[in-house]
C-alpha cells in the first residue's frame, strides 16, 4: 500500500472523528462529481480498459495470417578435410603435389550466401478467416465485459456515496440522541435533588446515556469505514455530500420494460452471445484444418565459393519463385478430435446463453422487488418518524405533570431515534436498489449519468489498429478469397446496437442568469 493511499485512509478515519464534534465546513460534493472521478481514475476500470486494448491486438495477430513475411538470411561455411598419407594425395593449391601436414593431407574450402525470402499466403482453406472472425467476436465480448466492469464500479460508487450519506446522517442522529439524553440526565439529577424522582430514575437516565455514547462511537467507526471505502473507489475522501439526485429518468415504468431492456442491453448476456459467436467461428477453423493451403514464395540471393580470395565477379545471383500447395491427408484422428471438441465448446457457450439470460431476469426481479419494498418502507418510516416525534414530545410534557415516568420518556426518545435511523436507511436502500436495477438493465453507464464528462471509447483503439504497421493493400483480396472459397465458411460476428444516451444525467442544471434590466 502506497504512503499516499495510507494517508487517505488515515484521513478518512480522522475526519470521521472530527465529524462527531463539529460540522465540516466544506462545499457540497455531488454524486455526479464522484462518478466522474471514479470513471477517470478507478484502478479496476483502468485495468480493464488496458486488458481490452491488449485483447484488440488478437485481431491484428489473426489478420497477419493473410499478410506476407519477408526474411533475410546470411551464412558462411568453412570446411577443412585431413586425409592420411596412405590415401590418395590431395592437391588444394594446384601445385601438382599433395598437401601434407605431418601424416595428413589437408583440403580447405569456404563459401558464403546472402539472400531474401518473401512468402505470401494465397489461400489457407478458411483457417485465417475463422481465426479473424473468432478474434473479432472476442473483442466485442471484451467490450461488453468492460461495460459490465464499468457498471459494477459505478454501482459501488453509488452505494459508497449513499452509505456515506447514511452514516453521516446516522452520526448526526446519534449525536443528537447523546445531547438529549445528557439533558435528560441533568433534569433527572435536578428533580432527584428536590425529591421528585428516585435514584432509580437517575440510574435509568445514566444507563441510556452510556448506551447512546457507545452507539455514537460505533457510528463514528462505521462512518470511518464507509469513508475509506469511498476513497478507495473514487480516489479522494468525501466532503459534505449533497443529496442523491433522482434516477427516475433512467428507470422503466414497469418490470416488463425492464425485462425487455435487460435482454437487449445487459452486458453479461451480450458478452456471452459474442462468446458463442467466437466458438462457432472456431468450429469453422477446426473444419478448415482438413482443407489444403496454397502459398507463394520468392527467394533472391547471392552465392559464392570460395569467399577468399574475394572477387565480386565470381558471385552467383539467383532468383527462385515457388507456389506450394499443401494437402493434409492423414493426421491420426487429430483433426477430427479437434472438430468434435470445438463443436462441444460451442454447444456449451450456446447453452450458457440461456443460463445467463435466466440469471439476468432473476436479477431484474430481485432488484425490482427490492426497489418496490424500499419505496414502501420510505412511506412507512416517514409516518413512523412523524408519529414517534409527536409521541416523544407528548411524553415529555406529560412527565412534567406527573403522568409519565422517566423510563417512559427514555423509551419514547429511543423509539424516535430508531424511526429516524429507519428512515435514513430506507432512503439509502431505495437508491441503491434503483442503481442495481439500472445496472442489470445495462443502463448504468457514464454516458447516462455524467454525459458532460469525457467518455472512454473502447472501439477507438480497435479502429486505430485496423490499418497499422504490417498492413498490405492486397490483404483484403486474400481475405475475401479465404472467406468465400471454403466449404465451411466462418460468419462475421454481428455487432449489436448500443442504446442511445438518455438524458439529462445526474449533474445539476446550470443556473439561468436573468437578463439584465436597464
Give the span between the Cα atoms of 443 and 158, in whole angstroms: 14
Residue 512 belongs to a domain? no
User: Tens digit of pLDDT for each residue in 212-254?
Assistant: 999 999 999 999 999 999 999 999 999 889 999 999 999 999 9
- Say whether 190 sits in a helix, a strand or coil: helix
* Average pLDDT value for residue range 367-385: 94
Residue 426 belongs to a domain? yes
Is the distance from CB of 300 to CB of 345 less than 8 angstroms? no
**pTM for this entry:** 0.83
- Say whether 70 sits in a helix, a strand or coil: strand
Q: What percent of the chain has pLDDT over 90?
A: 57
Q: What is the pLDDT of residue 379?
A: 92
Q: What is the pLDDT of residue 307?
A: 56
Using 50, 70 and 90 to split pLDDT, how confident is the model at 201?
Answer: confident
Q: What is the pLDDT of residue 18?
A: 42
User: Tens digit of pLDDT for each residue in 112-127?
Assistant: 788 899 999 998 888 9
User: Tens digit of pLDDT for each residue in 404-413?
Assistant: 888 988 999 9
Q: What percent of the chain has pLDDT over 70?
A: 86
The domain spanning residue 475 has which CATH number? 1.20.1600.10
| Other CB atoms within 10 Å distance of the CB of residue 3 | 7
Residue 262 belongs to a domain? yes
Q: What domain range is 212 assigned to?
A: 3-69+131-291+335-484
Question: For the chain, what's the residue count?
Answer: 518
Looking at every residue in the chain, the average pLDDT score rounds to 86
Q: What is the pLDDT of residue 139?
A: 96
Distances in Å between the Cα of 283 and the Cα atoms of 43, 342, 345, 491, 510 are 36, 5, 9, 11, 55
Residue 101 belongs to a domain? no
User: Tens digit of pLDDT for each residue in 338-347?
Assistant: 999 999 999 9
Q: What is the pLDDT of residue 82?
A: 73
Residue 400 belongs to a domain? yes
Q: Quote the strand ranges of 200-315, DSSP E.
A: 293-304
Residue 152 belongs to a domain? yes
- The tally of domains found in the chain comes to 1
Residue 84 belongs to a domain? no
Give the span between the Cα atoms of 47 and 247, in whole angstroms: 28
| Other CB atoms within 10 Å distance of the CB of residue 101 | 8
Residue 247 belongs to a domain? yes
Amino acid at each position: 500500500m502506497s504512503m499516499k493511499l495510507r494517508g487517505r485512509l488515515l484521513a478518512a478515519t480522522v475526519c470521521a472523528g472530527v465529524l462527531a464534534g463539529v460540522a465540516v465546513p466544506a462545499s457540497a460534493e455531488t454524486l455526479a462529481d464522484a462518478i466522474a472521478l471514479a470513471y477517470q481514475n478507478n484502478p479496476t476500470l483502468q485495468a480493464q480498459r488496458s486488458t481490452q486494448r491488449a485483447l484488440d491486438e488478437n485481431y491484428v495477430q489473426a489478420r497477419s495470417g493473410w499478410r506476407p513475411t519477408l526474411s533475410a538470411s546470411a551464412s558462411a561455411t568453412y570446411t577443412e578435410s585431413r586425409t592420411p598419407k596412405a590415401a590418395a594425395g590431395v592437391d588444394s593449391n594446384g601445385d601438382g603435389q599433395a598437401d601434407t601436414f605431418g601424416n595428413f593431407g589437408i583440403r580447405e574450402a569456404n563459401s558464403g550466401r546472402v539472400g531474401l525470402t518473401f512468402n505470401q499466403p494465397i489461400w489457407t482453406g478458411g483457417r485465417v478467416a475463422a481465426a479473424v472472425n473468432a478474434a473479432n467476436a472476442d473483442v466485442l465480448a471484451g467490450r461488453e465485459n468492460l461495460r459490465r466492469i464499468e457498471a459494477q464500479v459505478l454501482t459501488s460508487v453509488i452505494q459508497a456515496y449513499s452509505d456515506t450519506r447514511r452514516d453521516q446522517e446516522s452520526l448526526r442522529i446519534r449525536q443528537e440522541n447523546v445531547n438529549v439524553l445528557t439533558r435528560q440526565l441533568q433534569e433527572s439529577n435536578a428533580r432527584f435533588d428536590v425529591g421528585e424522582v428516585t435514584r432509580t430514575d437517575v440510574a435509568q437516565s445514566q444507563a441510556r446515556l452510556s448506551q447512546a455514547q457507545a452507539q455514537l462511537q460505533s457510528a463514528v467507526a462505521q462512518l470511518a469505514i464507509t469513508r475509506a471505502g469511498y476513497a478507495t473507489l473514487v480516489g479522494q475522501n468525501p466532503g459534505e455530500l449533497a443529496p442523491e439526485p433522482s434516477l427516475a429518468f433512467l428507470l422503466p415504468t414497469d418490470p416488463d420494460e425492464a425485462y425487455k431492456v435487460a435482454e437487449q442491453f445487459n452486458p453479461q448476456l451480450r458478452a456471452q452471445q459474442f462468446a458463442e459467436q467466437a466458438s462457432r467461428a472456431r468450429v469453422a477453423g477446426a473444419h478448415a484444418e482438413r482443407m489444403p493451403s496454397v502459398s507463394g514464395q520468392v527467394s533472391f540471393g547471392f552465392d559464392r565459393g570460395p569467399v577468399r580470395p574475394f572477387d565480386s565477379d565470381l558471385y552467383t545471383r539467383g532468383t527462385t519463385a515457388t507456389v506450394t500447395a499443401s494437402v493434409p491427408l492423414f493426421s491420426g484422428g487429430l483433426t477430427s478430435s479437434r472438430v468434435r471438441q470445438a463443436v462441444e465448446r460451442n454447444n456449451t457457450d450456446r447453452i450458457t446463453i440461456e443460463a445467463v439470460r435466466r440469471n439476468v431476469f432473476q436479477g431484474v426481479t430481485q432488484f425490482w422487488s427490492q426497489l418496490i419494498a424500499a419505496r414502501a418502507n420510505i412511506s412507512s418510516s416517514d409516518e413512523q418518524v412523524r408519529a414517534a416525534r409527536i409521541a416523544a414530545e407528548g411524553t415529555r410534557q406529560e412527565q412534567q405533570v406527573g403522568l409519565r415516568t422517566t423510563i417512559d420518556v427514555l423509551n419514547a426518545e429511543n423509539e424516535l431515534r430508531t424511526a429516524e435511523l429507519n428512515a435514513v436507511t430506507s432512503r439509502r436502500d431505495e437508491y441503491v436498489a434503483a442503481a442495481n436495477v439500472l445496472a442489470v438493465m445495462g443502463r448504468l453507464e457514464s454516458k447516462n449519468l455524467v454525459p458532460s464528462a469525457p467518455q472512454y471509447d473502447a472501439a477507438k483503439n480497435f479502429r486505430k489498429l485496423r490499418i497499422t504497421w504490417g498492413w498490405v493493400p492486397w490483404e483484403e483480396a486474400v481475405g475475401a478469397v479465404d472467406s468465400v472459397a471454403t466449404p465451411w465458411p466462418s460468419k462475421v460476428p454481428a455487432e449489436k446496437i448500443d442504446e442511445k444516451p438518455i438524458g439529462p444525467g445526474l449533474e445539476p442544471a446550470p443556473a439561468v442568469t436573468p437578463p439584465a434590466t436597464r
